[in-house]
Amino acid sequence: MGSVGTRDEEFSEFVRLRYDGLARLGHLLTGDRGHGEDLAQAALLRTYRAWPRITRPTADAYVRTVMANLALRWGARRWHGERPTELLPDHLAAPDGTAHSDEGDAMRRLLATLPPPQRAVLVLRYFEDLSETDIAETLGCSIGTVKSRASRALASLRSSGLLDDTNEKERHG
């Protein structure tokens, strides 16, 4: 019985330390704060079930992989049922102290215009700072697929006029 208690304590500590970051990752992967939190919670449930088999150094990679795969499956659904709105008609949103900057909001809107597989690659590359190899492993695809999805996503954002090339040009000289 003691090992279950220790297991639960270790998992609770992992969740305490990582939940905010996982919810942000979920928000970026889904394009919606509420769905992002749902995604993080669904991934944590699956991670808890596998917790005895997961080594602590690989826990982040495991939950990130679960989130990416769930996000791709959820994004493939044709009907999503709900349509998010800025404000609910029955009350005004109160400032919660966690509002993101205009730049962050603009980035989330840009990401939301992309198909889920392309969005997942960009989020894992630029927000989770994973290598192409790590992204391929996380998504269960080839490095070539990662490269082509990233290329198509960036090209789509550029051609739509939604992505400003100024920063890109400054980085590459």
> For residue range 9-29, what is the model confidence (pLDDT) as tens digits?
999 999 999 999 999 999 999
Residues contacting 124, CB < 8 A, separation 6+: 64, 68, 130, 134, 135, 138, 139
Q: What pTM was estimated for this model as a whole?
A: 0.70
Say if residue 72 is in the same domain as residue 113. no
User: pLDDT for 108-133, tens place per residue?
Assistant: 888 888 999 999 999 999 989 999 99
Say if residue 68 is in the same domain as residue 120. no
- Nearest Cα neighbor of 22 from 78, 68, 55 is 68
CATH classification at residue 151 = 1.10.10.10
Domain that residue 49 falls in: 1-76
Q: Is residue 82 in a domain? A: no
Say if residue 7 is in the same domain as residue 70. yes
What's the number of domains the chain is made of?
Answer: 2
